[in-house]
Copies of this chain bind each other. A is one copy, B any other.
Amino acid sequence: MADNDAGFEARLAEAARLVVERLERCLSEGEPLMAGVPARLRAAMRHGVLNGGKRLRPFLVMETARLCGAPEAAALDAAAALECIHSYSLVHDDLPAMDDDDLRRGQPTVHVAFDEATAILAGDALLTLAFGLVAASHDAEPQARLHLVHALSREAGAAGMVGGQLLDLEAEDETSLPEAAIARMQAMKTGALIAFACEAGPLLAGAPAEKRERFRRFGETIGLAFQLADDLLDETADAATLGKAAGKDRARGKKTLPALHGHDWTRARLDALVAEAGELLAPEGADAATLVAAARFIAERTR
């Protein structure tokens, strides 16, 4: 167990190092999609994406790709694209008209460090860049690239992440929200991109539909755990630990399951989700130990 966890931490760190290196290249003037970009826009894009995140989603892409035998360069492109999309969504979510956050991972948010218009445009540019990176990922088969573009559009778009963000904002005005509505909102807002990350590996490897579906369900399961753990942290941690304002969700009237059911229920549910995630990867045998450790890490993280 401890060995697996140590292995997971090393692989997470290595994936983070690789994807940051790839993102540095994506956002350099040498990248064909970035030639001639105004300096201020490129700086704002870099501020939004090169900010010391854990790079969990890129790790999931890289690790599912490794497990399925997909080309590493193609996985890295997909991981970088996904991180561009995750980062753009944070840049836009932080805007005054949205969650109005000044601080993200201990740093000023993009609209604070630059201005609102630049933050809107930097977000738009990161989102647009992501699709170009996947399309130009020459180590992946053309059909796999097209599947990735389509899946990314679905999971990041109106039926996925963007739709979930809208439901989240709408929920602030509700006095109470049915549990099913909270679950739907969170599955879209957080779960969709994590599910995509876990489906990306089998997709790039051209794995059979059963395997893709199983990896996707693994992603959905750990996505649920991720959100539960995040909401629990917001209730219990302090700003110094989180690198962002704490207790803000509750103050803002955000509806979360830990707020509804309490700490013990949440911990039990997290344990059940980790067990479920492990079962979904059982057919992969010992090779899947790192991903199972990742599920545990997600459920147990304290920051």
Contacts and interface: CB of A to CB of B under 8 A. Distances in A.
A142 B157 CA distance: 22
B127 A158 contact: no
A132 B150 contact: yes
Given A158-B41, A159-B36, A162-B125, A120 B146 contact: no
A45 B158 CA distance: 9
Q: Mostly helix, strand, loop or mixed at chain A's interface?
A: helix
A269 interface: no
Interface string A1-44: 00000000000000000000000000000001111111011100
A170 interface: yes
A178 to B, nearest CB: 15
A149 B135 contact: yes
A99 to B, nearest CB: 9
A63 to B, nearest CB: 25
Interface string A97-121: 1100000000000000001111011
Contact of A162 (B36, B128, B170): B128
A42 to B, nearest CB: 7
A129 B147 CA distance: 14
Contacts of A129: 153, 157-158
A243 B35 CA distance: 36
Given A40-B170, A146-B145, A154-B33, A162 B131 contact: no
A271 interface: no
B132 A154 contact: yes
A159 B35 contact: yes
Contacts of A37: 158-159, 163
A124 interface: yes
Nearest to A29: B159
A226 to B, nearest CB: 20
A152 B142 CA distance: 17
Interface in A26-70: 32-38, 40-42, 45
Contacts of A162: 41, 121, 124-125, 128
A165 interface: yes
Contact of A38 (B117, B132, B167): B167
A259 interface: no
9 contacts: A41-B166, A95-B120, A97-B117, A97-B120, A128-B158, A129-B158, A132-B157, A142-B143, A146-B146
Given A95-B120, A131-B153, 4 more contacts: A92-B121, A92-B124, A125-B162, A135-B153
